[in-house]
Amino acid sequence: MKIGKQARREAKALFRNCLVNGLLDEGRVRKTVDDVARTKPRGYLSILSHFAHRVRLEIERRTARVESAVALPMDSQSDVQNRLTQVYGAGLTTNFAVNPGLIGSDVYDGSVEARLKALEQSF
């Protein structure tokens, strides 16, 4: 579905109205979707599509997935979560998962810090 410029602008404005102190407010998102679906402005399907895309991206941006070879104790999970909150700010959702495949395998760090260190070592 092709989204027109006007629909994109309206979706962006609606999305900005759903942010409270820089964090997405679920109640505002629900109310916004209900209001648009009820009033059905011109191009409302495109507006809702782009709005949903922005919401999805924001949720993914504010979600951290932490994988370990064995289950982390609760105190370690709390420490990791606190450190991530310090680095990335409040409102971060942290999901912990066990991945036994990490034992004995290579782990690649795709963070900006790791890439900068690799670049520094290449000189």
Q: Is residue 116 part of a domain?
A: no
d(CA 103, CA 8): 45
Query: Mean per-residue pLDDT for 67-81?
Result: 91
Q: Is residue 89 part of a domain?
A: yes
What pLDDT shows up at residue 37?
94
d(CA 48, CA 52): 6
Q: Report DSSP state, residue 44.
A: H
Both 46 and 13 in one domain: the answer is yes
Both 69 and 55 in one domain: the answer is no
pLDDT at 80 over 50: yes
Q: Which is higher by pLDDT, 90 or 104?
A: 90
Q: Is residue 114 part of a domain?
A: no
Q: Is residue 90 part of a domain?
A: yes
What pLDDT shows up at residue 99?
86
Both 56 and 72 in one domain: the answer is no
Query: Mean per-residue pLDDT for 62-78?
Result: 91
Query: Mean per-residue pLDDT for 12-28?
Result: 95
Q: Is residue 122 part of a domain?
A: no
Q: How many domains does the chain have?
A: 2
What pLDDT shows up at residue 58?
94
What pLDDT shows up at residue 1?
47
Q: Is residue 123 part of a domain?
A: no
Per the CB < 8 A criterion, the answer to whether 92 and 63 are in contact is yes
- C-alpha distances in Å from residue 56, one per residue of 14, 52, 59, 81, 83: 14, 6, 5, 22, 24
Q: Which is higher by pLDDT, 79 or 69?
A: 79
Per the CB < 8 A criterion, the answer to whether 8 and 50 are in contact is yes
pLDDT at 95 over 90: yes
Q: Is residue 13 part of a domain?
A: yes
Q: Is residue 118 part of a domain?
A: no
Which residue range forms the structural domain that includes residue 56? 5-61
47: closest CA among 105, 7, 77, 1?
A: 7
For residue 74, give both structure tokens.
Answer: 């609760």
Query: Mean per-residue pLDDT for 104-120?
Result: 72
28: closest CA among 61, 68, 67, 55?
A: 55
Both 22 and 68 in one domain: the answer is no
pLDDT at 11 over 90: yes
Both 57 and 28 in one domain: the answer is yes
Both 55 and 69 in one domain: the answer is no
